Chains A and B, each alone.
Chain A
Amino acid sequence: MKHYDKVTPDGTRDLLFDECVSREEVVSRLTAMFRSRGYRQVITPAIEFYDVFGSSAAHFPQENMYKLSDTRGRLMVVRPDCTIPIARLVATRLTGMPMPLRLYYCENVYRVEHTMRGKPSEIYQAGVELIGSNSLRSDLEIVELAASGLSDINGESFRIELCHIGYFKALIDSLDAGADTKEAIRQCIEQKNYPALSDLLAPFGDSRAAAALGYLPRLFGGEEVFGKAYELFSENGALECLDYLHGLYEDLRQLGLEDRVIIDLGLVNQAEYYTGLIFRGYFDGIGEPVLSGGRYDNLLGEFGAPLSATGFAVNIDPAAQVVGEPAPQTPDILVFSDERHLPEAVNYIKSLTENGLVAENCVYDDFDAAADYARRRGIRQLHVVDDAIEAVDVETLRGEGAR
């Protein structure tokens, strides 16, 4: 007995017509730009061995992955992310290529979400990876590329948020605390949970690191953040990280992005995964980040090819909400013929489409049915192919009755 033959699984949906057009519009703008900067597309399988994601358990807990097994009983996952499979691909097949590698992808990723919280479990992403370079040049390239991508989709109405995870790492490494406490502190900073954070830091008295950690969730905003951050803590590598981030900020300012860029030194969500710059992108009116990325210099090493890397991914569907309603997809002309003129009708359709028109073949046998269909479908012109071609304005047919 079938129970689920008429519904889609939780967190998934059918996309129809203009939803597909909006999505395609965002993807084509992004991928055109990626290609114009020398990025080349890769496609990895939708299913991977569990082991590919096994070392990243902290970011992809097993309960959030869709799993299946292959014919030999080996555990597989439906990919929850594109970057890790690309790291696998690069480490195993591309280490002999000239570096850096510029790769882009456009794929669905799958994450098991709580049901009925409004979050999709099938997420369509387009993104880039710049692999084999660990320099300001590559960080600037990738952040500017992210900004250009967001701007191509939504004009001026976007923000890019930057963080250097090194600042947080300098602070937390300066704190004499156990791993569990450090993780609890990181979580409180991630959630900007000021009260719980100050409770956690209370035992460390007035050490500079503790004071700075306590202030970290508030270190977001414009350029003024740097002054405050330098003042709070500059030891143990913090100074170098701030200098680096400030330099990048200056470059972005020269690119005219000053009003678009915000700094948040409390962006510590994946502190173990990212090794340097972290960034996220927002659109006005969209309540979640539409872009996220950063530098991950340790990941490829886990696959045996210690290469630096940075990149970002755009969540296409929230981004697609901001590209205006696309034009309705209504054909210009419906082409009708009797059975004796079918080949002529096909040829006529081809000649219309060669001229850039959208022409639909009529499958009805009689003219009235054809006219009725055209009216309901909103097609304005009905062309009748006989020994000659007669163009009929569908509107004027209204009320005329049968012909």
Chain B
Amino acid sequence: MIKPIRIALTKGRLEKDTVEMFERLGYDCTAVREKGRRLILPVAGTNLEIVLAKAADVATYVDNGVCDIGVVGKDTIMEMGGTFYEVADLGFGKCRFALALPQGVDFYEGYHTRRIASKYVNVARGFFERKNMDVSIVKIEGSVELAPILGLSDAIVDIVETGTTLRENGLVVAEYICDVSARLIVNIASLKLRKAEIEPLIARIEDYLAGEETE
């Protein structure tokens, strides 16, 4: 039997949109919709296999070549780095990286070293390095909005979708850092060695995305 093409999907937020896209492309994702507790699922009638994983793990699996293709947010790619091809912007899962802080505070006033809370410590570090600004970064795993409220940090760096959570917690966006959305990534060796199988799939996704834009 030929080795299947393994596609790693980010569980949760991006999963629904990704499955929808694959279904519109004509792939049978019944197994994914009825997955139960299984993590590796076949796409009926194809040589594709879908692997469900956490965002950061999608990048790791594709980087190490145990999955050929992945769907993962740009936020994760920016935070993790890694060596793979990033061939398409899938257009969904859109949000922005932003620096946010309590309403009415001027972030740049005074000379004390700011403390920044973030789940995305590398993104935060990169952002302030580009500003040549020394900050002290604290890694927070859960709701980052708590950190300035509790007095742990002056500001946060986080992804912002609608801004509702920020508003409800008395925070405002001070600066947008960059846009984020779901990306299609491909392992370097896979793209070269399995071009005949992977390129048509990428082309179908690109056609689909082009169609979406003109709709």
Contacts and interface: CB of A to CB of B under 8 A. Distances in A.
Contacts of A220: 192, 195
Nearest to B185: A191
A114 interface: yes
Q: Provide the main secondary structure of the chain A interface.
A: loop
A10 to B, nearest CB: 15
Contact of A191 (B65, B85, B189): B85
Contacts of B206: 194
A119 B3 CA distance: 24
Interface in B102-123: none
7 contacts: A119-B64, A191-B84, A192-B87, A193-B86, A282-B192, A285-B3, A289-B189
A3 interface: no
Interface of A: 114, 117-119, 159, 161, 191-196, 217, 220-221, 262, 264, 282, 284-289
B71 to A, nearest CB: 14
Contact of A118 (B64, B88, B89, B195): B64
A284 B193 CA distance: 7
Given A192-B191, A284-B193, A287-B190, A117 B86 contact: no
A282 B87 contact: no
Q: Which of A194, A264, A282, A286 has the most CB of B within 10 A?
A: A194
**In the A-B complex, the 6 residue pairs with the closest CB atoms:** A287-B65, A192-B85, A195-B89, A193-B86, A118-B64, A282-B189
A286 B189 contact: yes
B72 to A, nearest CB: 14
B60 A118 contact: yes
B63 interface: yes
Contacts of B66: 287
Contacts of B85: 191-193, 217
Contacts of A114: 81
B82 interface: yes
Interface string B176-198: 00000000001111111101000
A196 B65 CA distance: 24
